[in-house]
Amino acid sequence: MPYKTLRTTLLTCGSLALMSAAAVAAERTEEMVITASRVEKPLSTIPNTVTLIDQAELERQLSIQNDLSTVLGNLIPSFSPSRQKMTSAGESLRGRKPLYLIDGIPQSNPLRSGGRDGHTISPLMLERVEVLHGANAIHGLGAAGGIINLITKRPSDGLEQSLRVDVGFQTERLSESLDRGVNYSLSNRIDQFDVLASVGYRDNGIAYDANGKVIGVDNTQGDTMAAEEYDLFLKTGYNWDDQRIELMVNRFNIESDHKWASVPGDEDKGVPSGAVREQPPGDGARNRVTTIGLSYENAEMLGHSFRVQLFSQDFEATYGAQITPIATFQDPAYGPDLIDQSQNNSEKRGLKLTLVKDEVAGLPLSLVYGIDVLEDETWQALIQTDRTWVPETRYNNYAPYVQAEFTGIEHVTLTAGVRHEESKLEVDDFTTLASYGSRFVKGGEPDFSETLYNVGGTYQFTETWRAFANYSEAFSMPDVGRVLRGINEDDQEVEKFLNLTPILTENSEFGLEYDNGTVNAQLSYYISDSDFGQRLQRGADGIYTVKREKTEVDGIEFRVGWAVTELDTLGLRYAEAEGRYDSDQDGKVDSDLDGTNISPDRVNLSWDRRWTDTLSSRLQVNHLRDRSVKNSSDVTINKFNGYTTVDASADIQVGPGVLSVSVQNLTNRDYFTYYSQSSPNDLRNFKGIGRSFGLAYQLSF
């Protein structure tokens, strides 16, 4: 069915579904509170598409697969399918890169996006996940596709301990496929002092496809199978009067066991990549991240509520060495067939100041204003030869902002805001690798400024119907490191290099919601444009380069549920997007974005049932639709064959705790992953995980 025809059909069906209270269902029975919009606000007043994943929903998904990207994709169809690897490169929200946060602290690395921002904390440390869809500047740099805010757990009111033990396995070879995990937390509140401490450990086995063959290990980008992971988490605070000071520290590490080597497949013949038990060269791939946040809140300061947050993030991502030499790393000075590997480092420091004033001058007007400050120092080294691939890059940014909300019209909420970004990029003189011609590049300190606007509104025109609309802008740096390291021409200067110009993304959205207490549905349409955007293109050696081009993405998101009985709830979520870019620089988009830049159209179906007070279950279906990628001549250059997977899980009260039982890929569907098909590569021609089983027992005492 043609894309535009499908869209028209879906919009019509969506409208009919919304009009029928008997054909739609409630996903939520109470109004949610959202912090992804900077301050706590009722969900009904936010003029954006928002997804909130609460702790119960999060734990249910984690019993099936302990991978955050998989969880997001299962519940947000406009989010890309998980790569089932340590890397999240190419994963997008609404066809653009989202900004990951932990309690408002940025985790994404815009200066050298190494694709690891989805692996900076164990999901078991989270209380909920809040996702603000679409480009925005609420938290500043990098939210071209939206915001994924990972909210960590809070201390309990009294002494509470929690222990979770889980195992996962496949029937092919139990000993090789066995996953083991344990998580312990202790929380207490004594007078005005509270604390929560948690420690988690995982040891993941190897994975098999539906045919019982070992899935290829990604030695270079990193893999979550055949890997060890630990997380140390602390949150402590002190309350007095209307004030609170809080410290949050998280130390996360995931590292390959470095005992499996990848075996190339054959994409043309349909032969998947594999793995053999053999130690690859160099060091194993790993992620080491330390996130620290110190915040102070005062509910009453000169007629305002006040919050200031100081934060830091130290990020170290090591990428493994390929068994066969990579052409990009070759240098005659080190001899032939050189094996090397890279390490991406980023150190962030920042401040976020937020003041809130309600009923300004006695009017139904509230203001949120303040300033954000960010310092980011990023570099990428080749650690076996001690060479520099990406030079040390320093980014300094400050951004004052103000956001207003007006509620003086009955049933209407109007919002508008402005944010001014002042940024400077500092790069010293450097020389590119020999494979790029050993080009000398003159450093510099280019500066950028941009004023960003947003405006939106919601209208509650009946008790059950709500409409919303918004326009917003996002400010992002291109992948600076990838741009700088790829310079292959003489006489280049950082201050004059056009490809370092920031990306301004404009997002417009219109949505309609229905909720009658037992029925909840939402339909939204969005357009996202960048006149000088960013697209990733893979080279012959598998190394991606940045292409700066005009890009346009538009799409729809539809979600609906139906509380069929008091015990049963059915859910449907659908997302469809079309993305195009300007391939010939004539100012008009003419070619389709491929799978490394946009997600496939997807349907998520679910059935939740509460059988008894001690037994509940969930059955979910994920269907990824076929997609063809055409160039400017309307010739198909890539084709994705969609697939359907089914997962099942159940929670059973056993003694003082809860036993979770799950089956991933229940029908044992045999498929090549979305990225393997979208970016053909013999070394990464990965199959998806076959049928796998999980058991978890959680006890609170």
Q: How far apart are CA 289 and CA 316, in angstroms?
A: 6
User: Average pLDDT for residues 596-623, to the nearest whole number?
Assistant: 95
| Percent of the chain surpassing pLDDT 70 | 93
Q: Is the predicted pLDDT of residue 1 greater than 80, yes or no? A: no
Domain count, the chain: 1
The reported pLDDT for the residue numbered 31 is 65
- Structural tokens at position 315: 């990020």
Range in 69-73, 177-181, 499-503, 615-619 with the lowest mean pLDDT: 499-503
- pLDDT above 90 covers a percentage of the chain that reads 75
What are the angstrom distances between the C-alpha of 562 and each of 129, 196, 219, 571, 612?
Answer: 23, 37, 44, 6, 19
- The tens digit of pLDDT for each residue in 327-381 reads 899 999 998 899 999 999 999 999 999 999 999 989 999 999 999 999 999 999 9
| 526-554: pLDDT as tens digits | 999 988 776 766 665 556 666 788 899 99
* Nearest-angstrom CA–CA distance, 342 and 329: 10
Q: 525 to each of 86, 321, 578, 612, how far by Cα in Å?
A: 32, 43, 12, 39
User: Using an 8 Å Cβ cutoff, are 221 and 85 in contact?
Assistant: yes
Of 688, 685, 690, the residue nearest 664 (C-alpha):
690
Please name which of 243, 86, 250, 239 lies closest in space to residue 153, comparing C-alpha atoms. 250
Domain that holds residue 216: 3-700
Q: What is the predicted pLDDT for the residue at 536?
A: 66
Task: Evaluate the CA torsion angle 623, 147, 127, 167 in order and state its sign.
Answer: positive
Cβ atoms 363, 408 nearer than 8 A: yes
pLDDT above 70: residue 461: yes
What pLDDT score was predicted for residue 697?
Answer: 97
pLDDT in tens, 98-135: 999 999 999 988 788 888 988 999 999 999 999 999 99
pLDDT at residue 6, as a whole number? 44
Convert the pLDDT of each residue in 161-214 to its tens digit: 999 999 999 998 888 999 999 999 999 999 999 999 999 999 999 999 999 999
Token pair belonging to 309: 């947050």
Residue with tokens 């450990």, as numbered in its chain: 201
Confidence (pLDDT) at 306 = 94
Q: Tokens 């359907």 label which residue?
A: 644
| CA 257, 671, 213, 594 torsion-angle sign | negative
d(CA 263, CA 273): 6
Counting DSSP H helices and E strands in the chain, the numbers are 6, 39
CB atoms within 10 A of CB 590: 16
Residue 23, pLDDT above cutoff 70? no
- Residue 269 DSSP one-character state: T
The DSSP result for 32-101, as a single string, is -EE-TTSS-EEGGG--S-EEEE-HHHHHHHHTT---HHHHHHHH-TTBPPP-SSS--TT--BTTBPPEEE
> Higher-confidence residue: 547 or 156?
156
Sequence-distant (6+) residues with CB within 8 A of 284 are 255, 256, 257, 258, 318, 320
Evaluate whether 93 touches 79 at the Cβ level (below 8 Å). Answer: yes
Residues 247 and 124: their CA atoms lie apart, in Å, by: 19
pLDDT averaged over every residue in the chain: 90
State residue 418's pLDDT score.
96
Query: Which of 395, 367, 457, 356 lies closest to 46 in space, CA to CA?
Result: 457
> What pLDDT is recorded for position 685?
94
For the chain, helix, strand, coil in percent to 5 are 10, 50, 40
CA 305 from chain centre, in angstroms, equals 30
In the predicted model, what is the mean pLDDT of residues 9-35?
A: 45
Q: What is the CATH number of the domain that holds 624?
A: 2.40.170.20
Q: Strand locations in 153-265, DSSP E?
A: 160-169, 179-190, 193-204, 227-240, 243-256, 260-263
DSSP class of residue 666 equals T
Q: Which residues contact 174 (CB under 8 A, 6 or more apart)?
A: none
